[in-house]
Amino acid sequence: MRIDEVRDAAHRMRHHVLNMGEAQGQGYVGQALGAADMLACVYADQLSYRPDDPKWEGRDRFLLSTGHYAIGLYAALAEARIIDAAELDSYGCDDSRLPMSGMASYTPGMEISGGSLGHGLTVAVGMALGLRHQGSPVRVFNFLSDGELDEGSTWEAAMGAAHHQLGNLVAMVDINALQADGPTAGVLRTEPVADKWTACGWFTQRVNGNDVEALLAAFDEIAGRAAPVGTPAVILCDTRVGSGVPLLENREKAHFMRIDADEWQICREQLTAGYQEKAGVDA
Ligand SMILES: Cc1ncc(C[n+]2csc(CCOP(=O)(O)OP(=O)(O)O)c2C)c(N)n1
Ligand SMILES: [Mg+2]
């Protein structure tokens, strides 16, 4: 069934993330594990795309604002068969199409280069506006991090999207409560986040971003709205860094993780054990 398929996809993606991380011994592994359920919902349930034609004009656009989350997107692109899973082994290597920070010109299915934070939503707004002018039914999704809510450009874009009534735009914010310099609450207090998006004119929902059922219900709410012209929609997703791997869930300095050579296998075993346990409970 639908929920199980997405959960399975997220689980396979988490394994891909660990395998890619192991190849480098480090990386933005915690975020990618935390956001795996969000990305699985998008790629396994929401997006229209053609695996063999990543530039197909009719595809929904998925814009990753956060270039450093690329490892998570590569896992999703492999799951979506837009890139070959075998290519994941080249992650972060010289001449690889899968650099540590996402580059649109390198990777099929990577719509923008998002390393300079706070620009993804501005690009998404322009894209959504342009597609609507063309009469296209395509939707634009933008994945943001909570750190990007520190950027004024994000809020300018949010107001612009509501002003232009961009019902074809969906933003997803990974609220993992973490940034490069430490907890989000200590860097810049962005709460109450939901009130801010609502005040900007967005259809706003806040869910547990590691709960596939809740995420899919939020997407269904968006699709079911009776909005003739449109209101942009945002899903605020509270996630846990390292989700699915207890060893990494409680790690200090989680923004960029260094993981010892003997820990990767433990991570994989914990991931598999947790997933089997959950599947057993749900059965
Ligand atoms: C405009 C801009 N300012 C600063 C940085 C440096 N930087 C890279 S990642 C990061 C943390 C941003 O917060 P978030 O994406 O929430 O971090 P995470 O959850 O991945 O730890 C920062 C400040 C950047 N890439 N772009
Ligand atoms: Mg964060």
- pLDDT tens-place string over residues 125-160: 999 999 999 999 999 999 999 999 999 999 999 999
The atom number, within ligand 1, closest to the CA of 68 reads 9
Q: What is the pLDDT of residue 93?
A: 93
Q: What is the pLDDT of residue 283?
A: 60
Indicate if the alpha-carbon torsion angle 265, 267, 272, 277 is positive or negative.
Answer: positive
CA of 144 to the centre of ligand 2 (A): 9
Q: What is the pLDDT of residue 228?
A: 42
Rg (CA), the chain: 18
The atom number, within ligand 1, closest to the CA of 256 reads 21
Q: What is the pLDDT of residue 226?
A: 62
Report which of 103, 97, 94 is spatially closest to residue 24, judged by C-alpha positions. 94
Measured between alpha carbons, how far is residue 166 from residues 119, 140, 145, 232 in Å?
17, 10, 21, 5
In DSSP terms, 61 is beta-bridged to: 140
Measured between alpha carbons, how far is residue 173 from residues 64, 143, 260, 278 in Å?
11, 6, 30, 26
Q: Which fold has domain 2-282?
A: Rossmann fold (3.40.50)
Q: What is the pLDDT of residue 11?
A: 98
Q: Against a cut of 0.75, is the pTM above it?
A: yes
Residue to probe by mutation, ligand 1, list 68, 100, 153, 239, most atoms within 8 Å of CB: 68
Question: Which residues crowd ion ligand 2, with CB under 5 Å?
Answer: 145-147, 176, 178
Report which of 159, 165, 125, 120 is spatially closest to residue 143, judged by C-alpha positions. 120
Sheet of 61-64: strand order equals 61-64, 140-145, 169-175, 233-238, 203-208
Pocket of ligand 1 (CB under 6 A): 31, 66, 68, 115-118, 145-147, 176, 178-180, 255
Which residues of the chain carry a pLDDT beneath 70? 226-229, 282-283
